[in-house]
Structure 1
Amino acid sequence: MKFGVLSDIHIDINERKLAPGQSYDSLLAEYLYHNEIDVLLLAGDISSDYRESLAFLDKMKNHRVSKILFVPGNHDYWSIRNKETDTNKINLLFNEREESLVANPFIVNDTYAVVGNPGWYDYGFASNKYTEEEFEAKKLRVGGWNDRLYVHWGKSDRDVSREMLAQIEKDMEKVADKRVVLMTHVVTHPQFIVPLPHRVYDYYNAFLGSRSYMTLYDKYPITKSVMGHVHFRKTLVEDAITYYCACLGNGRHWYTDDPVSELAYTIETFTL
């Protein structure tokens, strides 16, 4: 079975890169078809509005090309236009989708399964020169982390991170006899954050991933790990685990102005 890996499409931000008549769902479906990809692992941040992200999943389903396995990213929880202020409600909408991996591991074959969860940040990758209260504020000098405006869990980030980690572990137990492909939106390895010290990311690394999730690699037979969020395009092999971060990212950082080329540069594949 051939898998594709992609994250952070940001179809709303990158809309200006499209030619007349193009759409990201059609371009992606065409790529999946021509490259004979059976399953696409889509690691979050389709757009910055949950309804637009849900609509994109519907469009991909209607193309009837590849099976989509999805976990939402932090931007997918946003609701700027719709003014939804209950992120838990939005999360439930995503978890009810047939594409969702949360509490629903995908059995690949007798050997492999895919376990997925958006994950959430626990501040663990940031410098310890800041306090938890400063991280919770999500605002540093003139800048800020915009989840403070658009994500409303009703609990602390660390509590959300712990709850999502607990769900991952429950799902790991469901496939205890399998080797695992793990997919999260947030990063779970320090090689995918900005190296410290750094005058800005000493603070902002707090929101890129969860250091506590690193324990998963010691406890479970994870052979591949898919991440997104950071807009890197990077693959790392370490201790017999292959880590993928295949983010299309913001168009202003692309190598070209062509979304077809950028999708081709970004998507990683593997076979199980």
Structure 2
Amino acid sequence: MKIGVLSDLHIDSNAKKLAPGQTYDYLLAELLYNQEIDLLLLAGDVSSDYHDTFSFLDRMRAHSVSKIQFVPGNHDFWSIRNHEEDTDRIYKLFKEREDNPVGNPYLIGDEWAVAGNPGWYDYGFASPRYTAEEFSRKKLKVGGWNDRLYVHWEKDDRAVAQAMLEELENDLNAVSGRKIIMMTHVVTHPQFVIPLPHPVYDYYNAFLGSESYTELYERYPIAHSIMGHVHFRKLLHEQETTYYCACLGNARHWYTEDPYTELAYTMEEFKLDI
């Protein structure tokens, strides 16, 4: 089985790069077909409105090229156009989808499983010189973290991060005995945040991932770990785990002007013998 890994397509903010008549679902379907991908693991931030993300995922399913498993990113929880503020309800809608593995790990043959969760940030990767109250504001003089405007959980960030960690552990335990492909949107390894000290990311690393999630690698047989969110592309092999961050990201950081070329350059691939 050939597996592709992508995240952070941001089809709305990157729409300006499309030629007339092009769409990101068609370009991605073409890439999956050309690369003979059996399963695409898409680690969040398709768009900045959950309605648009749903529509994209539905169009990808209609292309009937590859199976897809998807976990939402922080942007996918936004609803700017319709001004919806019940993020817990939006998350429930994502979990009801067949292409979402939360609460329903995706089994591959007799030996493998995909366990996924969007994850949330617990502030653990940031500098301790800031307080939890300062992080909860999501704003410094140099700018603000826009989840403060568009994400409205019933709990605070660290409680959401803990609840999602518990969801993920429940799914990991449910596939005990299998080798694991773990997919989150947020970062789960310190090598995927910005090294400290840093004049900006001493603060903003708080919103890139969860330090508490790093303990999962000690307790579970995670062979492949997929994440996104940070808008760079990195591959790391450490001990028994390969870590993937394959973010298409914002077009201003692309190496070329062509979205198909960037998709092809970004997507990571690996094979499973099943």
Q: Residue 107 of structure 2 corresponds to which residue in structure 1?
A: 107
Q: Please state how far the C-alpha of 1:155 moved relative to its aligned partner.
A: 1.1
Q: Residue 150 of structure 1 corresponds to which residue in structure 2?
A: 150
Q: Residue 209 of structure 2 corresponds to which residue in structure 1?
A: 209
Q: Please state how far the C-alpha of 1:106 moved relative to its aligned partner.
A: 0.7
Q: Residue 82 of structure 1 corresponds to which residue in structure 2?
A: 82
Provide the rounded CA distance (Å) in 2 between the counterparts of 1:157 and 1:214: 17
> Structure 2 matches for 1:116-127, cutoff 5 A?
116-127=116-127
- 2:140 aligned partner, one-letter code: L
Provide the rounded CA distance (Å) in 1 between the counterparts of 2:35 and 2:196: 38
SS at match of 2:3: strand
- Deviation per CA, 1:103-144: give whole Å up to 9, x if none: 010111221111000000000000000000000000011410
- Deviation per CA, 1:151-209: give whole Å up to 9, x if none: 00021100000000000110011100101000000000000000000000000000000
> Structure 2 matches for 1:1-272, cutoff 5 A?
1-272=1-272
SS at match of 2:14: helix
Provide the rounded CA distance (Å) in 1 between the counterparts of 2:161 and 2:255: 34
SS at match of 2:223: strand
Provide the rounded CA distance (Å) in 1 between the counterparts of 2:154 and 2:145: 17
Provide the rounded CA distance (Å) in 2 between the counterparts of 1:240 and 1:218: 10
Structure 1 gaps of 5+ residues are none
Structure 2 gaps of 5+ residues are none
Q: Please state how far the C-alpha of 1:17 moved relative to its aligned partner.
A: 0.2
- 1:260 aligned partner, one-letter code: Y
Q: Please state how far the C-alpha of 1:270 moved relative to its aligned partner.
A: 0.5
Q: TM-score, normalised by structure 1?
A: 0.99
Percentage of pairs with the same residue: 67
SS at match of 1:245: strand
Q: Please state how far the C-alpha of 1:232 moved relative to its aligned partner.
A: 1.0
SS at match of 2:165: helix
Q: Please state how far the C-alpha of 1:39 moved relative to its aligned partner.
A: 0.3
Provide the rounded CA distance (Å) in 2 between the counterparts of 1:71 and 1:142: 30
Provide the rounded CA distance (Å) in 1 between the counterparts of 2:241 and 2:163: 25
Aligned Cα RMSD in Å?
0.5
Provide the rounded CA distance (Å) in 2 between the counterparts of 1:95 and 1:145: 25
Provide the rounded CA distance (Å) in 2 between the counterparts of 1:97 and 1:268: 24
Q: TM-score, normalised by structure 2?
A: 0.99
Off by >2 Å, runs of 4+ in structure 1: none
Task: State how many pairs are aligned.
Answer: 272
- 1:201 aligned partner, one-letter code: Y
Provide the rounded CA distance (Å) in 2 between the counterparts of 1:237 and 1:173: 24
Provide the rounded CA distance (Å) in 2 between the counterparts of 1:112 and 1:193: 28
Q: Please state how far the C-alpha of 1:215 moved relative to its aligned partner.
A: 0.5
SS at match of 1:168: helix
